Structure 1
């Protein structure tokens, strides 16, 4: 006790308290973590329109750069020293959006080419005032699409990008429509476009766009839901493209495209897992609902009006398999080199009818295979129920595939059991086949039957390039 009193009287305790106060003050002045995130307020705009951008950041100021991604990356607009504000994230941001105020409005011009535009946000500071000093940087991105102001004036080919799929997989805020990447493995049923998050453009569509533009094919662009909200666009085109992973479609999207095909419009699905799930756009397209395997939770299920039930298009309650649109579907397709299926076998197509016009100039013979170098058959593929006669595949047409559908190439694929067990009409253990082919019903509809077709273009596969040319040049006239 005497020793403690001596320490106090000596003033040591006062110095200790003062030091603790200084440390506490310095800690209070530590800098906040540096972050910057944002999103575009619309999926697409026409040339000459403005696009609202919403940003949240701890930086006092930041920079925005807008660039078109195609054969080259072309920067079209920049703005520095934009005042930064950090906004709270609503608990329901995944479903209902961030509701952040507009931070800046980007003016496009008639000179901006139709295409996919990347918005890059960059922030930097010098760290803390008293400690944690040193330059810090943060960067993130958003995206939007510029449509041709006068559709069809630079191209008769419309590439509608898989923007619904981008949103479905986006788990920003905690939830996507998938359990595997959602908070506590609890999948969401409604997802908002009005939140930060990546797209899948770079994985599938960009390689196709780069190849097309480098080889002289002009394209005009739209978002998935432009087929729903701006169907008049279709009348200006000869050919509509789907590339990559075009998984989520609404009833109006499909109705409008099928009506256009019936009137002579052509479609090329250089995509797989296409039109697999039905979605319902809500809040004017700012969000959509997709209950998937939990379709019994969908209010539409309770009404017994199943036309817009947000589950598989091929579900027996919906009775509208995607085969009726694309010629093929996921129930008779599946995975290759993904989800543990056919992981060691080549991901290549076998040719069945080499005299067809899509193979013109390839020199292929029956039984030849192509695309294995670039694993073009994967990672998700569509097919149809087949019967085989004299070694050639024919669609049974029991699954909705049109009677005029010609199967031109196949490759075995399979579902993962975990994906199929919930579907009560499923045949356990079934192996299907990715099917490349086409049909004509008013217009002509081609399908590559695989998400990864564009990887063959990226790899300069001679057959993949020639087949793509044949399709574009014949169907865009």
Structure 2
């Protein structure tokens, strides 16, 4: 029991202090962000002094016998203080170097300690401040040293565990702070080093050590330092956020709750680390305005479902604090792959959510027939939750199943068919050929459009709201999430289902092709240069500048193009990592600083290359084309006459109509179409405008055939006349 005598003035001061902190605590409490169904807290304050005080209020509401005081700004001396504070069962408070901060003074009085330990020499906390603290507390002592390394040594002397040590870079603070809760709980001293040299003070502290945990990658602690240590284990990562996550993994911590602090400033994590240790919880780091990927990964992996946020809204914004707790996934079986395309020999990783304990996987190729190439059952499954912004940041699920794609698998559209016995789900992906032949046809799969229409996680690129009379669209989506829209099963569709019709036609007519994705093309625009002919398939709406320039260069080099698509090369996007960004308001991309919007509105008309373009002519019912120029070689051996209707039926149903090669969304020529184009046929659509089917010889030496319709592939699959027309084009192009 801590009993001290005090006079009337002391009692009045203590009453004033109690009232002050009651108001401070209430202001903190009502400022906490709320999230439905979760118990997240925020320990905030207008500055780091108040944050430290609120941490103290939370963890030591009945007072403390010992208090640690450190400098609020140059707190390197205090990096090693958490284990000592935990051992003494006291909070860490912060002060200025030459002035005892008012809220800190008041909190010392509220805590009513017998002892204050000042961490750091007089340059960190002056003798003047020490003297003022002595007027409040019976015993005040200083743990100092000539530098932070010696301070850490002197702190370690106060700890009982001499056989273990944690070593962190003394000039890079986050690693020491994120390991601090674990170190404190275990009574392990935190010792500091330089990147390439162990200071003498630390060498002294390490003399009795038998095992060492090194925190930080080789950029923080060089192998030359690491190799000098006894019984060593390194916990590293590509950055401070991943290091914090890997601490939880490596030390096999399995919390359902965690503290979290900004990874850009460190005072909040310092003072909060002791409370985290007191509660047996780890420390994670975040950006102020975004949850880093590595932090998301560990939250999902360890099923951490509630948090104590350290710091005010400038340190961790409410938008971040409210996103920390994942959404409980109530869906049936679903999943996604780590990439959208693979070469044979690469390993596909499937990330599967299933409420059931077991599921099966079958790999199916979708060509002229749906053929299963591999089947596996009795795979362990688990539910996997997701964040409320997973539509743009990805689901961050664990891998449940991996498979190395055999060298014998041909290029094509595949899907991983997931089944739990009651429900099936297809994850569509592409297998590419890494040894293309010049005579092969390259097929561009419109995977950017697949994701644009994907609303899994809450939003697609079509999700919008009206603010101040202006419609604003969601601007970013992620590839790393389930995509039911891209399922390949069924005939009717404008994404993978629609593209499957063209692939099936190619295989039935014995054309060799290699398929790849928008993502591949964006990352390697010269990829298509290995092929005589490129086919743009079905609904290739979302293109990047790299793709646009890649196609332009390909045509200038003499390449041939079949544009069997509608509404293509329409919205300009930027790709970064697993994200796609579209600025439909015409603003500038945050990923690239380029202007966004429609290509034709920013001086890059798609019609100058593919000959036709979509100009919002309406979501039209499908219809046949009317032939305009039957003497063109494209109609050779078809028996088609001018005025004939071709492509009367098809597999795509649009607005209740059954098929028709011109439909869904349709493209027309404009003033930028090359002047030597030939109008072959035009859709007779009753709503909007019909698609223009054209051909022109490109100045680069190749040819361009464009159909300008999303539903063309669905008719090509069943219409003999269209089949002969496309065969004539491919024959002209050397196939």
Q: Deviations over 1:316-345 (max 9, x none)?
A: xx11111012111112x724xxx3x4x5xx
How far apart are the structure 2 equivalents of 1:139 and 1:462?
34
How far apart are the structure 1 equivalents of 2:472 and 2:607?
30
- Which of 365, 374, 380 is residue 641 of structure 2 equivalent to? 365
Match runs of 1:196-345 below 5 Å: 196-198=482-484, 199=486, 200-283=494-577, 286-292=578-584, 294-296=585-587, 298-299=589-590, 308-315=594-601, 318-331=602-615, 334-335=617-618, 339=619, 341=620, 343=621
- Structure 2 unaligned runs (5+)? 1-328, 466-470, 487-493, 651-659
- Structure 1 unaligned runs (5+)? 1-31, 125-136, 386-397, 416-430
How far apart are the structure 1 equivalents of 2:515 and 2:426?
20
2:427 matched to which residue of 1? 142
* Contact 2:353–2:383, Cα closer than 8 Å, also in 1: yes
CA 1:176–1:414: 2 relative to 1, 3 Å? farther
How far apart are the structure 1 equivalents of 2:386 and 2:676?
52
- Which of 160, 172, 178 is residue 444 of structure 2 equivalent to? 160
Are 1:438 and 2:723 matched, yes or no? no
How far apart are the structure 2 equivalents of 1:94 and 1:37?
15
| Number of corresponding residues | 384
- Which of 84, 88, 91 is residue 385 of structure 2 equivalent to? 88
User: Of Structure 1 and Structure 2, which has the larger fraction of its residues in strand?
Assistant: 1
Are 1:383 and 2:668 matched, yes or no? yes
Dislocated runs of 4+, deviation >4 Å: 297-300, 412-415
CA 1:180–1:466: 2 relative to 1, 3 Å? farther
How far apart are the structure 2 equivalents of 1:414 and 1:329?
19
Q: Deviations over 1:424-460 (max 9, x none)?
A: xxxxxxx64421112222121110111111122232x
CA 1:202–1:229: 2 relative to 1, 3 Å? closer
Classify the secondary structure of the residue corresponding to 1:120. Answer: strand
2:491 matched to which residue of 1? none
Q: CA deviation at 1:267?
A: 0.8
Are 1:192 and 2:464 matched, yes or no? no
Normalising by structure 1, what TM-score?
0.75
How far apart are the structure 1 equivalents of 2:690 and 2:604?
20
* Contact 1:117–1:145, Cα closer than 8 Å, also in 2: yes
* Contact 2:623–2:685, Cα closer than 8 Å, also in 1: no
Classify the secondary structure of the residue corresponding to 1:240. Answer: strand
How far apart are the structure 2 equivalents of 1:468 and 1:196?
34
CA 1:334–1:33: 2 relative to 1, 3 Å? closer
Q: Deviations over 1:342-391 (max 9, x none)?
A: x5xx7111112111111111112222221123311001110023xxxxxx
Are 1:67 and 2:364 matched, yes or no? yes
* Contact 2:599–2:605, Cα closer than 8 Å, also in 1: yes
How far apart are the structure 2 equivalents of 1:176 and 1:323?
27
Classify the secondary structure of the residue corresponding to 1:203. Answer: helix
Are 1:169 and 2:445 matched, yes or no? no
Normalising by structure 2, what TM-score?
0.50
RMSD value, Cα: 2.5
Are 1:468 and 2:721 matched, yes or no? no
Are 1:406 and 2:678 matched, yes or no? yes
How far apart are the structure 1 equivalents of 2:436 and 2:398?
31
Q: Deviations over 1:182-229 (max 9, x none)?
A: xxx984211111000131545311112112211212221101121121
Are 1:349 and 2:625 matched, yes or no? yes
Classify the secondary structure of the residue corresponding to 2:725. Answer: helix
* Contact 1:227–1:257, Cα closer than 8 Å, also in 2: no
2:105 matched to which residue of 1? none
CA 1:81–1:235: 2 relative to 1, 3 Å? same
How far apart are the structure 1 equivalents of 2:435 and 2:557?
21
Classify the secondary structure of the residue corresponding to 1:373. Answer: coil
CA 1:149–1:239: 2 relative to 1, 3 Å? same
